[in-house]
Amino acid sequence: MRQFQFRVGYENFALIHVSLVPDLHGEQKTKPTQTTVHSLRGLGLLPDLVRLSVIHLHCLALTSRPDCMSPLSTAAS
């Protein structure tokens, strides 16, 4: 990716880092995201944008709970 970034130029390249942030009982754990950004920087890649998606771990097994449904699934029912 770094070679491609040099080839097309910085103004034509955007590095977007997408990361999953687990939510454990109302506390969001960002350490995994911090670690991956640190690893990317070690490779010479600095994300232009970081997109975080929060997943509520209690919703993995209980998807029928109203507070766990996404807006799309709520609108479809």
Structure tokens given for 19: 């990361």
Output phi, psi for 53, to 5 deg.
-120, 125
Q: What is the pLDDT of residue 68?
A: 63
Structure tokens given for 56: 């509520």
With 80 as the cut, is the pLDDT of residue 49 above it? yes
pLDDT in tens, 25-47: 778 888 999 999 999 999 988 99
